[in-house]
Amino acid sequence: MPRFAANLTFLFNEVPFLERFGEAAHAGFRAVEFAFAYEYRIAEVVAQQREHRLDVVLINAPPGDYAAGDRGLASVPGREHEFAASIANALQYANAFGCTRIHVMAGVVPEGADPAERERRTRTYVRNLRFACTEAAAQGVTILIEPINPRDVPGYLLNTQAQAHALRAEIGAPNLKVQMDLYHAQIVEGDLTEKLRRYIAHIGHVQIAGVPGRNEPDTGEINYGYLFKVLDELRYDGWVGCEYRPAKSTTGGLTWLYRLLDRRPAPQKSG
């Protein structure tokens, strides 16, 4: 059975962010992930992490001005210095948390952009990712890129697994991997089992949610029980991030996870 991490950006929103660490631990999680915690002092977040003995397994680099529509800076020409500063900031937080994965969001392409502008942004993306991988390597951190469906984030530069893996191969950095969110992948292209089999060696993190509503993963059209078995067969040893919106309360919706954990084989007794 894969190891599951609570995404504190999506789960336990019944309480303020810093209190979500305790809620996650109480619910049985031993690891957490979250998008952005840069409005909090590092010491505040680390104190919660340590108090509740949680691993932080994934954070996002700062995305730019989220309220103004930024969804990452990596592909935005003219903002390279801002991007470099965002990587330095993310690495500082990751170091404090002992976190070894940073998701770097690509950014959006303006509506109506011609092919030349899209290509210009892709080249900017490649250059910035090379820089980020070089900076992260010294700290033992893996940089992740994630295809995101255009329904949730219109205009996002990176939409398919093939796009992401082609860029990963072009850049060629050993610490660049793809974050495969099965929710986004199902919406854009499906064929999840074959894509897992094809790309597993280069998948650095997996995330889950039900489709189409992005609620608990035991609802909707994806058979996660089957896919978890596939991950086991493929010997995936990373984390599975629970990045979904609870239909009602977070804790009340966790029955899907408790049912899975109850099905784990009992350890064999020696002798």
Q: What is the pLDDT of residue 262?
A: 72
The CA distance from 176 to 43, in Å, is: 28
Partner residues linked to 211 by β-bridges: 220
Contact predicate 139/91, CB 8 Å: yes
Task: Tell me the per-residue pLDDT of 30-67, one tens digit each, with 9 for 90 and over.
Answer: 999 999 999 999 999 999 999 999 999 999 999 999 99
Tell me if residue 177 falls in helix, strand or coil. Answer: strand
**Cα gap 97→31, rounded to integer Å:** 11
Average pLDDT for 167-194: 98
**Mean of pLDDT values over 210-233:** 96
Position 1 scores a pLDDT of: 86
CA distance 168 to 170: 5
Distance from C-alpha of 141 to C-alpha of 139, rounded to nearest angstrom:
5
Q: Are 186 and 211 a contacting pair, CB within 8 Å?
A: yes
Residue 233 designated active-site: no
The answer to whether residue 268 sits within a structural domain is no
Residues 136, 179 contacting (CB under 8 angstroms):
no
pLDDT-derived band of residue 269, with 50, 70 and 90 as boundaries?
Answer: very low
Confidence of residue 17 (pLDDT cuts 50, 70, 90): very high
> What share of the chain in percent tops pLDDT 90?
92
> Is there a domain that residue 267 lies in?
no
Hey, what's the torsion of the CAs at 151, 108, 142, 52, to 10 degrees?
-60
Over residues 135-142, the mean pLDDT reads: 97
- Range 218-223 average pLDDT: 95
Q: Is the peptide bond before 115 cis (omega within 30 degrees of 0)?
A: no
Residue 271 has pLDDT above 60, yes or no: no
Instruction: Give the residue ranges of DSSP H helices in 148-238.
Output: 161-171, 182-188, 192-199, 224-233
Total domains in the fold of the chain: 1
- Mean pLDDT to the nearest integer, 260-271: 53
The one catalytic residue among 23, 33, 216, 243: 243
Query: Which range is least confidently modeled, 26-35, 63-72, 151-160, 187-196?
Result: 63-72
Q: Reply yes or no on whether the pLDDT at 265 is more than 50.
A: no
| CATH code for the domain in which residue 81 is found | 3.20.20.150
Record the pTM: 0.93
Q: Residue 263's pLDDT band (boundaries 50, 70, 90)?
A: low
Full DSSP string of 154-174: TTBS---HHHHHHHHHHH--T
Pairing outcome for strands 142-145 and 101-103:
parallel
Share the mean pLDDT of the chain.
Answer: 95
Each residue's pLDDT tens digit, 76-130:
999 999 999 999 999 999 999 999 999 999 999 998 889 999 999 999 999 999 9
CA distances from 35 to 7, 53, 261, 269 (A): 8, 19, 26, 41
Per the domain annotation, does 9 fall within a domain? yes
Does 271 map to a domain? no
Assigned domain for 270 exists:
no
SS3 of 87-103: HHHHHHHHHHHCCCEEE
Residue 150 placed within a domain? yes
| Structure confidence at residue 179 (pLDDT) | 98
Question: Is 161 part of a structural domain of the chain?
Answer: yes
**Mean pLDDT, rounded, for 168-183:** 98
Q: How many Cβ atoms from other residues are within 10 Å of residue 160's Cβ?
A: 15
Task: Check pLDDT > 80 for residue 202.
Answer: yes
Note whether residue 99 is domain-resident: yes
What's the mean pLDDT in 248-263? 89
For this structure, is 170 an active site residue? no
Range of the domain at 256: 3-262
Q: Which of 14, 146, 189, 233 is catalytic?
A: 146
How many residues appear in the chain? 271
CA–CA dist 139, 147 (Å, integer): 25
